[in-house]
A = this chain, B = another copy of it.
Amino acid sequence: MPRLEEDDETLRRLEKLGNQVVEMIQEGENPYIERPVRSRSNVEFDSEKGLLDLGDSKSKRYFMNIGHARKFMQTMLVASKCKELIEEERTASIRELYYQLKHTIPGLDENTLEDQDESNPVIVDLETALDSLREHLHLIAEPKGRLFGPITIEDEGDEINCLKLGKSGLGVPSMVDDYKFVEHSADYVLVVETSAMAARLVEEDFHKKENAIIVSAGGQPSRGVRRLTNILHKRLDLPVYVFTDGDPYGYYIYSVLTAGSMNLAFESNRLATPEANLIGMTMSDIEEYGLENVTEKLKGKHPDESGGPTKDYKRAMDMMDYEWFQHEEWQEELQTMMERGERVEQQALATNNLQFVAETYLPEKIEKGEHLP
């Protein structure tokens, strides 16, 4: 892959980490690596930025500590391999990284790594220690998602006009940082939860008629889709609408896209888009668009039932407590959902006719500015 803008900076940080350890050894100190604490206690919502972030707690991992030594060694191995990847202008999947580093330590009956459950957390340690994104370390995740719409992207030297990809669309790779947005005539970005709904919109030429970049997530958005949404918004200053099922799972997808996730709080800044709005489905859509006969029941137990709340109700209750859902509209939305005990899917809009979502529902909502914050 081509060099990323961030490559020099990432190399500099990796070298600094290594040099610090060397210095400590030369000065006869017990070498350590410092990184932010990632437990929930150190995850905060930054209300100014509108996203989750790590607090100031740090912890040190020492080489000369029997409980730390193995992880210290693994962190050095991963750091060294990532440096090599950047220098070679290659990427590796986290599975490949594991296989690349797994070997028996000479003179010892011990492996560097026993399984990938050992290397994965070390990668996260390194990301946080360096305040760097996994992709900037040239590590890639499973790709998922597709893109359609009036934008030309340069990827690996190829200029791709995403309006000329039929109903197939562009596969969103794991790594999008190196994408160059050559030109576009889009009015906004629409992130769609289900692939089938994205296919519907493409069949109706929604992307062409409405000048919309459609990003199809295919369920919970991949890192690639989250980062792509972030850079489409930041670099092109385009509004972002998120279109999910009207249920706790769909709203959680929106929550992750807008504010980030607890587990990856240190990456929200690069993976989340706080300015994104939810365009639908909402509980008020049910009456508004005559969907009373095509709702589904929420799963699990209502908080008033014994043993409740569970499943959908539990997730809805949890979300009501999120700081970024403290808007009146969101509280009402979640409250109504639990009272009705109902969910409504994107594809339920097909009950009227197939083109309804593309010709009426979305254009009306976007024109009227009807969306949740």
Question: Using a CB–CB distance below 8 Å, which chain A residues touch chain B?
Answer: 1, 90-93, 95-96, 99-100, 102-104, 140, 142-144, 146, 153-160, 164-175, 195-196, 199-200, 203, 218, 293-294, 345, 347-351, 353-354
Partner of A1, one of B90, B93, B167: B167
Contact B96 A354 (CB under 8 A): yes
Residues of B within 8 A of A156 (CB): 166-167
Q: Closest 4 CB pairs between A and B?
A: A155-B166, A93-B196, A156-B166, A96-B350
Q: Provide the bound-state CA to CA distance between A156 and B202, in Å.
A: 11
Task: Tell me the number of copies of this protein.
Answer: 2
- CB proximity of A104 to chain B, nearest CB, Å: 7
Q: Least Cβ distance of A350 to chain B in Å?
A: 4
Q: Are B354 and A196 in contact (CB under 8 A)?
A: no
- In contact, B171 and A170 (Cβ under 8 angstroms): yes
19 CB < 8 A contacts A-B = A1-B167, A1-B203, A90-B354, A91-B203, A93-B347, A99-B348, A99-B349, A102-B293, A102-B351, A103-B293, A140-B196, A143-B195, A156-B167, A157-B166, A160-B164, A160-B165, A168-B170, A170-B171, A171-B171
B91 touches A142 (CB 8 A): no
Q: Are B173 and A165 in contact (CB under 8 A)?
A: no
Contact between chains at B170 and A354 (CB < 8 Å): no
Contact of A170 among B100, B170, B175 (CB under 8 A): B170
* A109–chain B nearest beta-carbon distance, Å: 13
Nearest-neighbour CB distance to chain B for A299, whole angstroms, equals 13
